[in-house]
Amino acid sequence: MGRLEGRVALVTGAASGIGRATSKLFAAEGARLVVFDRAAEVEETAAEIKAAGGEATAVLGDAGLEADIEKAVALAVSTYGALDICYANAGISGGYVPLLELTADHWTELLRINLIGPCMAIKHAAKVMIPRGKGSIICTASVAGLRSGAGPVPYSASKAGVINMVQTTAQLLTGTGVRVNAICPGLIETGMTKPIFVTARERGTEHKIGQINPLRRGGVPEEIAGAALFLASDDSSYVDGQAIVVDGGLSSSHPVAGMRR
């Protein structure tokens, strides 16, 4: 039996990257999936899961709209009878905008998707998990939420908010059996970071990607999916309110130029 055999999972941002890799891994471990995204490619994610013998239902929606999240949770329950795992993975980078050119509208849209959306996912997932006395809720944060230097100001602030929100909601759900945790990815090759990798390859500097990590490389979505599987499964039954960093060791130190063995 798989580690998620008989369980039902909702994954947002499932059209590509970390969301797609995690959805496929969850399905391979026995979960039945509701895969959610505003991009039509989420249908491809569901199709790949079905082709591999799994069960998945694709839903188009905006992860920053409470009504869309509520409907996705309700669909999981009505289609598969329960919701055991909710992975609020959807997010945007917002692009780089100089500090002195940032607008309130830019902040509002980014926080709507990156912070308010995951909060609504926690709210509605917890509502259906609490009566059953169990459940795992996971959010995608970022190493950018730990300290400066890994992302633009609004993005970094939104991910810092996710980390604090996970800690706070885990405490608010004390005694319910519902766990809330976050994953803080480092530099992972996804649609969001694609320009970094494409530019490096065009310049012939791909070998420099991740050069300040102890592992000296960037990561791939499947490596974040592995962490999500741990948090979704009973292997993490005593893990709650945590932000687990998966970044090749980047955040273990402040980068210092010229260090040698």
Give pLDDT tens digits for 15-43.
999 999 999 999 999 999 999 999 999 99
Query: In total, how many domains does the chain have?
Result: 1
**Dihedral of the CA atoms 97, 100, 103, 104 (nearest 10)?**
120
Angle 232-238-242 from CA coordinates, rounded to 5°: 70
The sheet carrying 55-60 orders its strands as: 55-60, 32-37, 8-12, 85-88, 135-140, 178-185, 243-246
Report the alpha-carbon distance of residue 10 to residue 232 in Å, rounded. 11
Q: Which among 96, 93, 85 is positioned nearest to 113, based on CA atoms?
A: 93
> Does the pLDDT at position 5 exceed 60?
yes
* Region 60-70 average pLDDT: 98
pLDDT at 199: 65
Domain extent, residue 137, equals: 8-190+220-246
Does 131 reside within a domain?
yes
Does 214 reside within a domain?
no
> Does the pLDDT at position 120 exceed 70?
yes
Does 215 reside within a domain?
no
Confidence of residue 206 (pLDDT cuts 50, 70, 90): low
Does 206 reside within a domain?
no
Query: Which stretches of the chain are DSSP H helices?
Result: 17-28, 42-51, 66-80, 104-111, 117-129, 153-172, 194-203, 221-232
List residues bridging with 181 in a β-sheet.
138
> Does the pLDDT at position 261 exceed 60?
no
User: Which positions are catalytic?
Assistant: 155
Q: Which among 50, 20, 25 is positioned nearest to 35, based on CA atoms?
A: 20
Does 117 reside within a domain?
yes
Does 209 reside within a domain?
no
Give the CATH number of the domain where residue 85 resides.
3.40.50.720
Does 200 reside within a domain?
no
> Does the pLDDT at position 145 exceed 60?
yes
Does 211 reside within a domain?
no
